[in-house]
Structure 1
Amino acid sequence: MLAFEYNKFNGIIIDSSAIPTDEKLFLQQLSALLEHASLQKKSVIWLTLPIDLAHLIKIATQQGFTFHNCLPTEITLTYKSLEEDYVPFVPTHSLGAGGFVQNSLGELLVIRERDASTYKLPGGHIELGEKIEDAVYREVLEETGIATSFDSVLGMASTHPYRFGKSNIYIVCKLSPLSTQIDIQDTHEIADAKWILPQDFLADSNNSPFNKYLVKSLVNATGLGKSTLDLSQFSKLKHEVFLAND
């Protein structure tokens, strides 16, 4: 039987490091585990196959496993004893962050990507495990060379469908510039970056209606400030909390 452990949800997690490479042996051990799970009245079985064991996917699906989620080097499948057994859903959204940065002259920091003819706020994808604050710092610095400090969350927008049939949430953050000299770091993606007065950005007919609406709506906004509460006393997880400003 395949090596495994029980989880706290009456399920079984198969030990990926102990899965045999031989197809016949895998089928024998998997069948024995399925019989054991049935006798013990376990609900969901989790099977993660690394990419070098991809040849075992067909065997697993023939036994009733279905795809759950996929990473570049592994795929996770699940088996439900009963149709009504609950399997936690896979992530439904990707996240992006944009930086709303104005200098002492009131000029707005904007960028133009290499495959675009219009300007927009600097920003990009929030990486797995990355804080919103850290992501927007990083993206603005990469795309413009401008270092910033965080002020608040100004707004957000949701888009569906986005990439791969998922949804996207775009979070706009107000930042204060710590420098003014533009020096694009990511020259592969960004063609131009500049400071521009909001009214000039709004007057440019080439810029998209959505981006112009963002600028018009947020230019005088204050938004949600970052909480100073130390959440480490409550949880070891990484937290960010944004609350309404007084």
Structure 2
Amino acid sequence: MPISEDLSEVVGRTVSGNGVWHAELLPAINDDHGGVIVEMEEHMDTETFLTMLRTSMLQWKQQGKKGVWIKLPIGLAHLVETAVKTPSTIPANATHRVGVGAIILNDKREVLVVQEKSGILQGTGLWKIPTGVVEEGEDISVAAIREVKEETGIETEFVEVLGFRQSHKTFFEKSDMFFICMLHPLSFDIQKQELEIEAAQWMPFEEYAAQPFAQKHELFRRINELCLAKVDRSYAGFSLQLVSNFSDQPSFLYLNSKDLGKSRSGINP
């Protein structure tokens, strides 16, 4: 919750008739982000909690604290309504989830594919490219390499982002960004992950693309088209370029280096 309580209202509730400040504060410890954490343990009635909360928020505001996190055990559930009545200005949780899919072809024009043990594709017999979710603090290129290694044991190096899809109201009602990456294999002996992967293999691309589901589902068709365009028609995706952001921390800019190079050489207007 924010520290934005009106000071006059707080003072009016916490100063006695003789003007002596006497209200107690809620038990709190500092967190790592300029706020405080309140862990309630002792029984307390609603009115006492409200008084102590208002008094505490006044002091925390004067101290420049940025937010308050209140932890209530089930035995103090009656305090939840009081705690949440104060409008919160703390940003909501993440609005997007970022996923990656990895296209890996070997010299025989075979694509690395898997069958999953869980999820909506479980038991369908569908062969698909390795996919996964980008972890906090992880680059897209690193996530694609990691997911392939975890699911199949295959070592790879990042080549390009071929394209990406944005959708909304998906996983936990969040928006979803899905990046389709092309990777180059550095090893070829598959060692599938037993927990999540039912099967993994190198499959001729034409056989993979001819699967009825892959023909029917537009996203799968588009991914196959991107793959063919990259292999057969010199399609230029987005390669990575190391740059520094405003905080001087390194980051990656994904760009079309092929056409950028043409423009620099004067081939393109």
Under TM normalisation by the shorter chain, which class is it?
0.7 to 0.9
- Equivalent residues of 1:14, 1:47 under 8 A apart: yes
CA RMSD of aligned residues (A): 3.3
CA deviation map 1:162-195 (0-9, x unaligned): 12211221111111000112221x1221112122
Is 1:239 aligned to residue 248 of structure 2? no
- Equivalent residues of 2:100, 2:180 under 8 A apart: yes
Query: In 2 relative to 1, CA 86–20 (structure 1 residues): closer, same or farther, beyond 3 Å?
Result: closer
Q: Which residue of structure 1 aligns with residue 226 of structure 2?
A: 217
Q: Which residue of structure 2 aligns with residue 29 of structure 1?
A: 52
Q: Which moved more, 1:110-119 or 1:145-154?
A: 110-119
Query: In 2 relative to 1, CA 196–56 (structure 1 residues): closer, same or farther, beyond 3 Å?
Result: same
Q: Which residue of structure 2 aligns with residue 182 of structure 1?
A: 190
Offset of residue 47 of structure 1: 1.8
**Count of residues in correspondence between the two structures:** 217
CA distance in 1: counterparts of 2:135 and 2:75, whole angstroms? 30
Larger proportion of strand: 1
Q: Which residue of structure 2 aligns with residue 143 of structure 1?
A: 151
CA deviation map 1:222-243 (0-9, x unaligned): 31111033x27x4265633212
Q: Which residue of structure 1 aligns with residue 130 of structure 2?
A: 122
- Equivalent residues of 1:202, 1:216 under 8 A apart: no
Q: Which residue of structure 2 aligns with residue 75 of structure 1?
A: none
Q: Which amino acid aligns with 1:89?
A: A
Q: Which amino acid aligns with 1:204?
A: Q
Q: Which amino acid aligns with 1:33?
A: S
CA distance in 1: counterparts of 2:150 and 2:101, whole angstroms? 12
Q: Which residue of structure 2 aligns with residue 73 of structure 1?
A: none
Offset of residue 22 of structure 1: 1.3
Q: Which residue of structure 1 aligns with residue 160 of structure 2?
A: 152
Q: Which moved more, 1:91-100 or 1:159-168?
A: 159-168
Q: Secondary structure at the match of 2:206?
A: helix
Query: Which segments of 5 or more consecutive residues in structure 1 lack a partner in the other structure?
Result: 66-78
**Identity of aligned pairs, percent?**
26
Query: In 2 relative to 1, CA 245–93 (structure 1 residues): closer, same or farther, beyond 3 Å?
Result: same
Query: Which segments of 5 or more consecutive residues in structure 2 lack a partner in the other structure?
Result: 1-24, 259-269
The structure with more radius of gyration: 2
- Equivalent residues of 1:182, 1:193 under 8 A apart: yes
CA deviation map 1:19-66 (0-9, x unaligned): 44213288153132245579x7x99843242xx74544541432444x
- Equivalent residues of 1:156, 1:169 under 8 A apart: yes
Q: Which residue of structure 2 aligns with residue 165 of structure 1?
A: 173
Q: Which moved more, 1:212-221 or 1:142-151?
A: 212-221
Please report the TM-score for the alignment, with normalisation by the length of structure 1. 0.73
CA distance in 2: counterparts of 1:63 and 1:228, whole angstroms? 45
- Equivalent residues of 1:102, 1:108 under 8 A apart: yes
Please report the TM-score for the alignment, with normalisation by the length of structure 2. 0.68
Q: Secondary structure at the match of 1:228?
A: strand
Query: In 2 relative to 1, CA 54–227 (structure 1 residues): closer, same or farther, beyond 3 Å?
Result: farther
Larger proportion of helix: 2
- Equivalent residues of 1:156, 1:171 under 8 A apart: yes
Q: Which residue of structure 1 aligns with residue 265 of structure 2?
A: none
Offset of residue 14 of structure 1: 2.6
CA distance in 2: counterparts of 1:194 and 1:15, whole angstroms? 50
Q: Which residue of structure 2 aligns with residue 90 of structure 1?
A: 93
Q: Which moved more, 1:165-174 or 1:21-30?
A: 21-30
CA deviation map 1:102-154 (0-9, x unaligned): 11222211111132321111121112222222211111112112100011111
- Equivalent residues of 2:37, 2:68 under 8 A apart: no
